[in-house]
Amino acid sequence: MKSSLIASVVLSYLVGSVSFAVVVSHLMGLADPRTFGSKNPGATNMLRGGSRLGAALVLLGDALKGWVAVWLAQWAEKVWGLDPLVTAGACLGVFLGHGYPVFFGFRGGKGVATALGILLALNVQLGVSTLIVWLSVMAVTRISSLSALCASVAAPLLGLQFLHQNTMRATVLVLSLILLAHHHSNILKLLKGEETVFKGKKPK
């Protein structure tokens, strides 16, 4: 089991290390998101750069890599009768890969989209419910970081309802704690009232 767990963590980490924000920016001829705004290579900062298509592609790519890594681990777990820790390792591996990508100098994103992909792979209802929390807060406040923080707090609580293995519940809790830690600067800005508020288009 030890070798399968290590393999799961390492392979998932490598998948997570593919930074779609950097890749998409390069392919679309856009500025590297690590050079402007929050300097965070994620969908939100891509949107700050003015590219809605780029932001959408990054959001999809980052969520998809989280989903794929966990789905493959779950598949291996079922086919070869592996321990659930293999799937837990994949969750942590792909998430940490996104945050600290080996291919990009360990400068990665905060992991909101990747976490969503992980949750959807673990349980669709869990993923959708967490997404609804994010969308609801975003619709009211227009603050992306606050939406992510609320979703991070909600995910472990929702996991108690939708996940039936304590290993997976604990994994979601750990992911949420790491995600909250990634947003420490945003928390300080929120407390100071300095966080970015996304505005809609002005009517013509």
Domain boundaries, the chain: 2-192
Q: How many residues does the chain have?
A: 204
* Residue range 191-195: mean pLDDT, rounded: 93
Distances (CA, A) of 69 to 12, 20, 54, 192: 5, 15, 23, 38
Distances (CA, A) of 36 to 41, 69, 123, 197: 10, 30, 35, 17
**pLDDT for 102-150, tens place per residue?**
999 999 999 999 999 999 999 999 999 999 999 999 999 999 999 999 9
pLDDT at 198: 82
Q: What is the pTM of this model?
A: 0.94
Comparison of pLDDT for 201 and 8, the residue scoring more: 8
What stretches of 142-165 show up as alpha helix (H) in DSSP? 144-162
Q: How far apart are the first and last CA of the chain?
A: 62
Distances (CA, A) of 198 to 74, 133, 141, 204: 37, 17, 9, 18
pLDDT at 201: 45
pLDDT of 1 above 70: no
